[in-house]
Amino acid sequence: MANIQMLQHSAPVEPMPFGALASAVLDNSPIGPGDEELALRGLRADDLAMIEEHLLDLCRTDRAMRFLGTHNDEVVSSYARHLDPSASIMVGAIAPSGRLLGFAEAQPTEARGKVEIAVTVAHAWRRRGLGRALVARVVVLSFAEGAHIAEFNFCPSNKAIVCLVASLGGRFGPLLGTASISRGSRLERLVA
């Protein structure tokens, strides 16, 4: 007697939008050690006000480094309000108080398989590895969703991002102020 299985044909499955997997996979992963334990988690639409507050807290110099130019509160607020968690990967470092202390995002670019990465960390939490943890998580999640290259565009005088990208095995160039991390790089082994 043969075992026959009936194949059911259903409607074609629509591909999930970029960022959908990240919000489902990433939960409150603790990060420490430090004065207080932070939780890394995927950020959603209901977190946009928290992101806006975090970005508005950046001093003028930090805004210039993050946005590659000086931007007033209105521009920064508009940027934060127009973020689309269903079309990007956004990860935050949240204090027990609920305050966002670090934020990294991966935005798809027009080039297929390429995302652009950005990160900000509250001044008091710098030089503790928080930015590195956020960027590593966002890049790995981007690769899991099909990206092949994570690119960084930054002010060449931003030594913090240069050190961060170098520590994750990024390659610099071809233009000054650009770097990238490719899928299959040592980053995936570093965070595994």
Determine, yes or no, domain membership for 92: yes
Lowest mean pLDDT among 18-22, 54-58, 65-69, 176-180: 18-22
Whether the model clears a pTM of 0.75, i.e. scores above it, the answer is yes
Kind and range of the H or E run holding 160: helix 159-167
Determine, yes or no, domain membership for 124: yes
Q: Is the pLDDT of residue 188 over 70?
A: no
Average pLDDT, the chain: 83
Structure confidence by residue, pLDDT tens digits, 98-152: 999 999 999 999 999 999 999 999 999 999 999 999 999 999 999 999 999 999 9
pLDDT, mean of residues 73-101: 95
Determine, yes or no, domain membership for 87: yes
Determine, yes or no, domain membership for 131: yes
Determine, yes or no, domain membership for 5: no
Determine, yes or no, domain membership for 134: yes
Determine, yes or no, domain membership for 186: yes
Domain ranges, residue 139: 20-191
Percent of the chain at pLDDT > 70 equals: 78
* Selected residue with higher pLDDT from 23 and 50: 50
Give the integer Cα–Cα distance in Å for 91 and 23.
Answer: 9
Give the integer Cα–Cα distance in Å for 187 and 137.
Answer: 10
Structure confidence by residue, pLDDT tens digits, 7-24: 233 333 333 444 544 544
Determine, yes or no, domain membership for 4: no
Q: What's the number of domains the chain is made of?
A: 1
Whether the link from the prior residue into 33 is cis, omega within 30° of 0, is yes
Look at residue 68 and give its three-state secondary structure: coil
Tally of CB atoms within 10 A around 164: 22
Residue 157 is part of a domain; what is its CATH number? 3.40.630.30
Kind and range of the H or E run holding 136: helix 130-144
Contact at 8 Å (CB) between 54 and 105? no
